[in-house]
Amino acid sequence: MSRDMDRDEKALLLRDEGRPFAGIAEILALDSARAANAAFNRALRGRPNAEQALLRSREMARLDAVASRLRGRDDLSVEEIVRRLRGVKHQRKALLVG
C-alpha cells in the first residue's frame, strides 16, 4: 500500500471514529480539513459497495448533527453560521459523488 493510500485509510478510520476533519488533518500532517475530507472520500470509494453505503450513512448522520448544532448556536454571527453550513453542504456533496 502506498503512503498516500495508507494516509487515506487512516483518514477514513479516524473520521469513522467521529474525529473532525481539522483534527484528522493535524494528526496526518495534511494541509487542511479539506485535504482530510478528500482523503476520507478517496478511501471510501475504494471500499466495497455495501461498506460504502454503511460508511456514507454514518457520515451523513454526523453531518446532519453538525448542521443541527450550528443552527442552534447563538455565539456565532448569522454570516458565520451560513459559511459553516456551506462547508457541511460541500461535504455532503463530496460524500455522494462517486
pTM: 0.87
Instruction: Classify 74 as helix, strand or coil.
Output: coil
61 close to 68: Cβ distance less than 8 angstroms:
no
Q: What is the mean pLDDT of residues 80-90?
A: 96
Task: Show the DSSP H helices in 1-98 as ranges.
Answer: 3-16, 21-27, 33-45, 49-71, 78-96
Predicted pLDDT at 48:
96
pLDDT tens per residue, range 40-77: 999 999 999 999 999 999 999 999 999 999 999 999 99
Angle CA 95–65–83, to nearest 5: 70
Residue 25 φ/ψ, nearest 5 degrees: -60, -40
Q: What percent of the chain has pLDDT over 90?
A: 92
Number of CB atoms found within 10 A of residue 65's CB: 11
Q: What is the mean pLDDT of residues 72-93?
A: 96
